Amino acid sequence: MRRSAARKASIVALAATVVTIGAAAPPAHHSPPTSPPAKSPVAVGHGGAVASVDPDASAAGIEVLRNGGNAVDAAVATAAALGVTEPYSAGIGGGGYFVHYDARTRAVHTIDGRETAPRSADASLFLENGRPIPFAEAMTSGLGVGTPGTPATWDAALDAWGSRPLGELLKPAERLAKHGFTVDETFRSQTAANETRFRDFPDSAELFLPGGRLPVVGSVIRNPDLARTYKELRREGVGALYEGRIAEDIVRTVRTPPVAAGAARVVRPGDLTERDLATYKTVRRTPTKVAYRGLNVYGMAPSSSGGTSVGEALNILERTDLSEVSKEQYLHRLIEASRIAFADRGRWVGDPAFEDVPVDGLLSQRFADSRECLIQDDAVLASPLAPGDPRRPAPCKDTGRAAPTTYEGENTTHLTTADKWGNVVAYTLTIEQTGGSGITVPGRGFLLNNELTDFSFAPADPAVHDPNLPGPGKRPRSSMSPTIVLDHHGRPVLALGSPGGATIITTVLQTLTGHLDRGLRLVDAIAAPRASQRNQPTTELEPELWNDSLLRKRLEAIGHSFRLNPEIGAATGIQRLPDGRWLAAAEKTRRGGGSAMVVRPSR
């Protein structure tokens, strides 16, 4: 079971086995689309690459690359287009985390563009009469809306590493909003899941329920309000959202939610102010970094728990040669490493402006070794598992009391870009729940986030410190895990990320180990059926693993318990091949399949 010392990190050579096919962006739309661009889950070629969940969005990024833009420019253009075609997952009403590899300096940089709580918020934000309000009521309210960070993230990224002005990069998304995009089955089903909520807010109903009905697959959705909002941002810059007329409209919507006459829903107002928006700042953070199989894995530091949790789990798995174990033992080790990482994140990770987060300790191999020794080949750890102490690691020793993992909304989106110069971006952005708060800003065409529901409403155990309670201007803990992997020369190997709430961490971890350890092509590692353990009594399995009764029985025989989850995550990634080409990869079937494109495909 232990990794041989002779094993070297020659994993990059796996790339030589990829199939040389490619997908390129179609010409830009200047009139209403008759059909959506073709989807392909994998593309190989030169000149740069984009992978996202949506073909219109990927095409927007490729358009920028073809016109001489770099990976950062393409990421912003792709994200803006996702605000049109994936409005229930992302948009200028939300936030996210931006990880960038600079080919010139061979350095990784990150931007924390997470939403923040109002300055008036405290630990009782979601309490009434000393008790947490129902989650469903917090989810659809002004109370759950944080100050958006996405436009400020675009501004910060372009200022630091971009080569094109925001006004130019918003043009494809503005055009898409004006002329429309084609409704697919995923968009219709997500709309149906939100139909009741949307009907309680007139602007949401008008935009997403045309004619008062669910949109028909194959029909075209146009968003002229968002097109005008993008045009205003192009003309005036993102300051218009933080201090201008858009800011005024956001604050008015949060403080006085525009509920339809006769709606029975309880919609609490929030306390967001114009000062909250005007003082919002992104944060440049040092990325997390761990060594794994001779490679360097970089991720997002707190306020996200993605980098520390993925990094800790990789450190735990480092001592096992996962390439040689059975599928049963691979899944067992993956599940147990995830369980431990989530136990430790729950105790230690929060907004570092408010909490003393021991990042170096959580990512130390010494701490991982003290936790790895808990794992047995023939038994399962109990959940919730108590955390360890990264400040004073002691072999196989817990500290404090266990706390269960709190719920996080599962809808987010991830995009990955690369350019002809070798720069790479992994960018995860969100409005939290599918459909966010459900509240569209009147006349503006975008949904507001409900990101503050990522805070703990109350401590899971009053006797245990909870680093994720609300506070004034505090960023809620996130699981977003945009990740970039470099070789020992500092050159890019791959980049990836995923949506999925807390399952993001397990999705990224499983995709990395599936590719680097199990030898799967990147597109197949993304497509592989997933398991997700988050320090809970049961582990979630996707149908293909659930239906493998022999495998499941073997794992259950040593103590595992499972529950079915129809779909976990929706990853995208990009890989640098040994011959210098880019491979873009996306989902084959999840969320209707993703969209991988390159500037010049290999034939």
Span 40-65, pLDDT tens digits: 999 999 999 999 999 999 999 999 99
Q: Is the pLDDT of residue 236 over 70?
A: yes
| Total tally of structural domains belonging to the chain | 2
Q: According to the model, what pLDDT value does residue 37 have? A: 77
d(CA 327, CA 366) in angstroms, rounded, equals: 27
Q: For residues 48 and 71, is the Cβ–Cβ distance under 8 A?
A: yes
Express each pLDDT in 182-212 by its tens digit.
Answer: 999 999 999 999 999 999 999 999 999 999 9
Q: Which of 360, 391, 406 is the last residue of a domain?
A: 406
Flag whether 8 is in a domain. no
Same domain, 446 and 506: yes
Backbone angles phi, psi at 202, to 5 degrees: -55, -45
Q: Which of 406, 438, 472 is the last residue of a domain?
A: 406
Q: In 10 A of CB 127, how many CB atoms?
A: 14
Same domain, 327 and 383: yes
Express each pLDDT in 326-375 by its tens digit.
Answer: 999 999 999 999 999 999 999 999 999 999 999 999 999 999 999 999 99
Same domain, 218 and 357: no
Flag whether 452 is in a domain. yes
Same domain, 52 and 201: yes
Q: What is the CATH number of the domain that holds 393?
A: 1.10.246.130
Q: According to the model, what pLDDT value does residue 410 have? A: 65
Flag whether 554 is in a domain. no
Q: Give catalytic residues, as residue numbers.
A: 412
Same domain, 274 and 301: no
Same domain, 395 and 429: no
Q: What is the CATH number of the domain that holds 445?
A: 3.60.20.40
Flag whether 535 is in a domain. no
Q: Tell me which residue range forms the domain holding 72.
A: 21-284+411-524+563-601
Mean pLDDT of 145-149: 98
Express each pLDDT in 575-603 by its tens digit.
Answer: 999 999 999 999 999 999 999 999 999 87
Express each pLDDT in 69-94 by its tens digit.
Answer: 999 999 999 999 999 999 999 999 99
384 contact partners, CB below 8 Å, separation of at least 6: 343, 346, 402, 403, 404, 405, 535, 536, 537
Q: In 10 A of CB 589, how many CB atoms?
A: 11
CA-nearest of 485, 481, 483 to 576 is 485
Same domain, 437 and 586: yes
Flag whether 550 is in a domain. no
Q: According to the model, what pLDDT value does residue 19 have? A: 36
Q: According to the model, what pLDDT value does residue 32 have? A: 46
Flag whether 463 is in a domain. yes
Backbone angles phi, psi at 459, to 5 degrees: -60, 135
Number of H helices, E strands in the chain: 20, 20
Flag whether 81 is in a domain. yes
Instruction: Give the global pTM.
Output: 0.94
